[in-house]
């Protein structure tokens, strides 16, 4: 019955595309988490009245984040073609999508990190300083644990956005479900392929959101 | 132990300069409980933060425990801070850590090995009376319990000095007393120096030996708590003393008496220490032909002994009243005639 509903779906190809989408999402989410966190913490610590208060670094980093956050993703992919080529020697394939995905998502996540860190009670940071904590201790033992629920819900939002980005990246030849839906589904007028790809993407998003929400609630002891 | 010399702290803001602390010199002895009282904006928050280098003075020097806090930086300052701990009005606990892990935090900072941390945390939990609550999160605790965690955390690295930043201002009166008892007990048992800032005279009289009164960045008055209570000089100090002596409420009754009995004298008697226990009033009545009408009475306990005020109306022949005053004077009881309110 399933095959009757989706007569044109090549399940091997579909599974391959799903794997590619998951691969791109997981890797880019992972790198975005680390990079975005680092940039977000830098933005936070260099802002006025903070430990590393530094107007120049703060404004510069903030502007870079804003610029990359504002470029539409599809344009960013095209702009990054020379960079990707330089980095990987090719602009095709799953790996080739990663630089654009990460550079597109990390500044977005950095902003969410900044918002999360600003929510931390200033008194707690002051308390840690009054105990003689080093800045690295404050980062690892105060800033990150105290904002963890917000950091996790932020990365969930980012991961869901990244699933969408992978589909767009697929159109320029990165593979994955977006690519499959576009090439096999749209260009060959096989609506069932497009529909199946959509259903799987939706499933991925739902599962990501569920896991994200679950972990966020688990870590929140407030 | 603690020496502040000619301290001024000026903040530069967009709207010009703000002087938070101006020309303050103070010295605090080892093992004493020293209180700084003032209304909000008086500069006491800045003052206490100068003592652990969270704020640096614009001019002047701060010396704590033989170290010049105002000039050291980096590792030296961080190590000094491990011996000058602080508790806060809003407790400032890490909500992501349990009670035990919050108390272990300063030990982690000091690089104490895990096994030692566990034993030390247990001791501290027992010390502040939180046994059984080790694995609770701060959100599951009451305000008083949170401050106990704050105190345990502050004591973890065996500090020489404990700074209390409005530590009881967010607590109800009963819990405030319990926390003050705990501080007093710690001071006696561990011999550590406590510096606290507050806007409540109640806190000062309950645990402090000496007090400094701050107004607009300056210390307007300082000395032994009992002396300040007996002889407040500055207007603001008189206000603070009224907070605990209850004379504010008696104003109306005095006014009423002045109207009803225009003949006698309204006198405010101030007793200090064991003089509060003398039966002077009955002596006056027995020895001289005077009428004594009690308007208001109050006894306040301070760490250096009780402090009492009694407002009475004394009526009789002028020479008899005069004699009565002499008796009071001979008993070292301060008598102040109030002729208007």
Rounded to a whole number of angstroms, the distance from the CA of B177 to the nearest CA of chain A is: 24
Q: Which residue of B has its CA nearest to A145?
A: B96
State the Cα–Cα distance between residues B230 and B268, nearest whole angstrom. Answer: 11
Q: Are residues B199 and B275 in the same domain?
A: no
Q: Are residues B257 and B239 in the same domain?
A: no
Q: Is the confidence at residue A217, as pLDDT, over 70?
A: yes
Q: Are residues B217 and B290 in the same domain?
A: no
Q: Please state the domain extents for chain A.
A: 12-219
Rounded to a whole number of angstroms, the distance from the CA of B92 to the nearest CA of chain A is: 5
- What is the DSSP code (8-state) at residue A47? S
Nearest CB among B54, B108, B110 relative to A126 is that of B54
Q: Strand, coil or helix: what is B6?
A: strand
CA distances from B190 to B49, B126, B159, B269 (A): 23, 15, 9, 38
Partner A, chain B 83-142, Cβ-Cβ below 8 Å = 84-86, 88, 90, 92-97, 105-106, 108-110, 137, 139
Domain boundary among B190, B221, B243: B243
Q: Which residues of B touch A146 (CB under 8 A)?
A: 94-96
pLDDT digit string, tens, across residues B44-68: 999 999 999 999 999 999 999 889 9
Contact B92 A126 (CB under 8 A): yes
Percent of chain A at pLDDT exceeding 90? 73
pTM of the model: 0.87
Question: What pLDDT was estimated at residue B315?
Answer: 84
pLDDT digit string, tens, across residues B241-289: 888 776 666 677 777 777 777 777 888 888 877 766 778 888 888 888 8
Q: Are residues B317 and B213 in the same domain?
A: no
Average pLDDT of the residues of chain A: 92
* Homologous superfamily of domain range A12-219: MetI-like (1.10.3720.10)
Q: Are residues B161 and B68 in the same domain?
A: yes
CATH number of the domain where residue B181 is located = 3.40.50.300
Nearest CB among B81, B93, B137 relative to A131 is that of B81
Nearest CB among B54, B77, B92 relative to A124 is that of B92
Q: Decide: residue A11, CB within 10 A, 0-12 exposed, 13-18 middle, 19+ buried.
A: exposed
State the Cα–Cα distance between residues A124 and B116, nearest whole angstrom. Answer: 25
Q: Which residue of B has its CA nearest to A134?
A: B78
Q: Are residues B258 and B321 in the same domain?
A: yes
Q: Which residues of A touch B90 (CB under 8 A)?
A: 121, 123
Q: Are residues B282 and B189 in the same domain?
A: no
Is A45 in contact with A117 (CB distance < 8 Å)? no
Q: Are residues B257 and B230 in the same domain?
A: no
Q: Are residues B207 and B127 in the same domain?
A: yes
At residue B340 the predicted structure's pLDDT band, cuts being 50, 70 and 90, is low
Q: Are residues B125 and B60 in the same domain?
A: yes
Report the residue of A122, A124, A132, A152 to disrupt the B interface, i.e. the one with the largest count of B CBs within 10 Å: A132
State the Cα–Cα distance between residues B170 and B135, nearest whole angstrom. Answer: 24
Contact B137 A146 (CB under 8 A): no
Contact B94 A148 (CB under 8 A): no
Contact B96 A126 (CB under 8 A): no
B67/A contact by beta carbon, under 8 A: no
State the Cα–Cα distance between residues B155 and B192, nearest whole angstrom. Answer: 10
Q: Are residues B103 and B88 in the same domain?
A: yes
Kindly list the residues of chain A whose beta carbon comes within 8 Å of any beta carbon in chain B.
121, 123-124, 126-134, 137, 141-142, 145-146, 148, 219, 221-222
Domain boundary among B243, B259, B286: B243
Choose among A95, A208, A113: nearest CA to A161: A208
Q: Name the strand (E) or helix (H) holding A218.
A: helix A191-219
Domain that holds residue B235: 2-243
pLDDT digit string, tens, across residues B277-319: 778 888 888 888 888 888 778 887 787 778 888 888 888 888 8
Q: Are residues B126 and B205 in the same domain?
A: yes
Q: Is the confidence at residue B341, as pLDDT, over 70?
A: no
Instruction: Please state the domain count of chain B.
Output: 2
Q: Which residue of B has its CA nearest to A121?
A: B92
Q: Which residues of A touch B54 (CB under 8 A)?
A: 126, 129-130
Contact A146 B95 (CB under 8 A): yes
pLDDT digit string, tens, across residues A182-201: 888 888 888 899 999 999 99
Question: What pLDDT was estimated at residue A105?
Answer: 96
pLDDT digit string, tens, across residues A42-92: 999 999 989 999 999 999 999 999 999 999 998 998 899 899 889 888 888
Q: Which residues of B touch A126 (CB under 8 A)?
A: 54, 88, 92
Q: Is the confidence at residue B116, as pLDDT, over 90?
A: yes
CATH number of the domain where residue B322 is located = 3.30.70.260
């Amino acid at each position: 019955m399933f095959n009757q509903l989706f007569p044109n779906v090549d399940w091997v190809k579909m599974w391959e595309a799903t794997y590619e989408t998951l691969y791109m999402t997981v890797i880019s989410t992972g790198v975005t988490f680390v990079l975005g966190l680092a940039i977000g913490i830098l933005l936070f610590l260099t802002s006025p009245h903070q430990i590393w208060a530094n107007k120049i670094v703060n404004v510069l980093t903030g502007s870079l984040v804003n610029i990359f956050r504002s470029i539409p993703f599809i344009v960013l992919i095209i702009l990054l073609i020379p960079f990707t080529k330089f980095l990987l020697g090719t602009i095709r394939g799953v790996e080739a999508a990663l630089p654009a995905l990460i550079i597109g998502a990390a500044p977005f996540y950095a902003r969410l990190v900044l918002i999360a860190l600003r929510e931390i009670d200033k008194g707690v940071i002051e308390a840690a300083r009054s105990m003689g904590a080093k800045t690295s201790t404050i980062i690892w033992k105060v800033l990150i644990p105290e904002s963890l629920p917000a950091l996790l819900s932020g990365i969930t939002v980012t991961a869901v956005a990244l699933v969408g980005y992978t589909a767009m990246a697929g159109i320029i030849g990165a593979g994955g479900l977006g690519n499959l839906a576009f090439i096999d589904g749209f260009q060959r007028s096989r609506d069932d392929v497009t529909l199946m790809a959509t259903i799987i993407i939706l499933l991925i998003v739902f599962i990501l959101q569920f896991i994200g929400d679950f972990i966020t609630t688990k870590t929140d002891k407030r | 132990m603690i020496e502040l010399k000619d301290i001024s702290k000026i903040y530069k803001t967009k709207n010009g300069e703000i002087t938070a602390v101006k020309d303050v010199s103070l010295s605090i002895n080892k093992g004493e409980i020293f209180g700084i009282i003032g209304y909000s904006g008086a500069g006491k928050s800045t003052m206490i933060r100068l003592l652990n280098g969270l704020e640096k003075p614009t001019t002047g020097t701060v010396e704590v425990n033989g170290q010049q806090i105002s000039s050291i930086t980096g590792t030296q300052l961080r190590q000094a801070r491990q011996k000058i701990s602080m508790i806060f009005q809003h407790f400032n606990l890490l909500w992501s850590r349990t009670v035990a892990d919050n108390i272990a935090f300063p030990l982690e900072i000091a690089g104490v090995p895990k096994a030692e941390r566990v034993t030390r945390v247990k001791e501290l939990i027992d010390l502040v009376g939180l046994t059984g609550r080790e694995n609770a999160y701060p959100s599951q605790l009451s305000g008083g319990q949170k401050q106990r965690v704050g105190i345990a955390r502050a004591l973890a690295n065996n500090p020489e000095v404990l700074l209390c930043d409005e530590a009881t201002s967010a607590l109800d009166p009963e819990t405030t007393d319990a926390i003050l008892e705990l501080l007093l007990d710690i001071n006696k048992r561990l011999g550590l120096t406590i510096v606290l800032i507050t806007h409540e005279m109640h806190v000062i009289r309950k645990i402090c030996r000496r007090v400094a009164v701050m107004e607009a960045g300056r210390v307007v008055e300082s000395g032994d708590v009992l002396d300040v209570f007996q002889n407040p000089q500055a207007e603001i100090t008189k206000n603070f003393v009224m907070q605990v002596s209850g004379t504010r409420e008696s104003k109306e009754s005095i006014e009423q008496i002045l109207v009803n009995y225009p003949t006698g004298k309204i006198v405010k008697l101030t007793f200090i220490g064991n003089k509060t226990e003398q039966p002077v009033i009955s002596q006056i009545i027995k020895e001289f032909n005077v009428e004594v009408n009690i308007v208001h009475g109050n006894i306040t306990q301070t760490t250096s002994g009780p402090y009492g005020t009694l407002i009475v109306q004394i009526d009789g022949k002028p020479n008899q009243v005069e004699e009565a005053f002499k008796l009071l004077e001979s008993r070292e009881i301060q008598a102040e005639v109030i002729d208007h309110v």
